[in-house]
Amino acid sequence: ITSAFLTLVVSYAIINEEGNLENEKLAQYAILWLCYKLNYQTKNRISNLNDFHNKYIKDFEKYFVRNPNLGAYNSYKGIIDKKQNSMPIDINVLSKLYEALKPLCKLYTECNEKKQDCKKCLEEANNFAVKYNDLNNDSNHIEDSLYSKILSTLLNDYGGFKKKCGDDQSKKFPSLPQITPQKSSAHTCGETAIQFSDVETSNSSIASKLIPVLSIFVAVPIFLGVAYKYSLFGFGKRSQKRYLRENIKK
């Protein structure tokens, strides 16, 4: 799990040839994937992301400190650093958001220009709408929280996909309300309020590159091929492949 996460946020340049992927968005979605995987891990279970970072990721920084493509990792690290002296990031809470990312990934990968299955697209759009509405009304949806920020990113990427499809197709997709977070208070579930800069609605061309890459990590064999080709730590090819296999199983 650690190796897969670091490959995504450190070696993201493999999928960012034009330099137009948003580091903050990549960090957010990578965190969702990480929290989802950790939430279902029974061995050495950790309940908050801060503890996982300090135990399994922090010591790896020395291996890629000279990597020029640290924009996404720095965005992730910025989120962690802001939370170190406050309430921790609850893995269980953020993993809920991954349930909305999954149908969104399917929309971008299964409903593209080359493969337009209208029935399947509508099904996944409805799945996303159900998940989004549940998350929007969740008690953990606090104003200015990381949860709220990522939910807004998911909604923007859904809107970007609808624009990409055109009027004839997208008019069949459900329309969704804007996010309605609860007012922040001294006691939030798993995290305190955190300020973010305003970000314009996501460009569909950016999301169409980022989201399919995240879906790669559902398939471990595909990931191993990517991680093996684009080594993070400079290990020998054979030892790197073995290292990645062992860590993904953890």
Q: What is the pLDDT of residue 235?
A: 36
What per-residue confidence (pLDDT) applies to 113? 59
Domains in the chain: boundaries: 2-249
| pLDDT, block means (10 residues), the chain with 250 residues | 80 55 80 88 77 87 71 80 68 92 86 65 92 96 90 93 78 92 63 38 50 50 36 40 48
Please give the pLDDT value at position 14.
Answer: 55
Enter the tokens of residue 74. Answer: 């720095």
Residue 188's pLDDT is: 43
The reported pLDDT for the residue numbered 202 is 43
Q: Is 177 exposed, middle or buried (0-12, 13-18, 19+ CB in 10 A)?
A: exposed
The secondary element (H helix, E strand) that includes residue 134 is: helix 118-136
The residues, ordered by sequence, that sit 6+ positions from 98 with a Cβ below 8 Å of its Cβ are 32, 33, 35, 36
Run of H or E residues at 112: strand 111-112
d(Cα 210, Cα 15) in Å, to the nearest integer? Answer: 8
Q: Vertex 93, ends 12 and 208: CA angle to 5°? A: 35
The answer for residues whose C-beta is within 8 angstroms of residue 159's C-beta and 6 or more apart is 201, 202
pLDDT of residue 234: 40
pLDDT at 126: 94
Cβ atoms of 108 and 114 within 8 Å: the answer is no
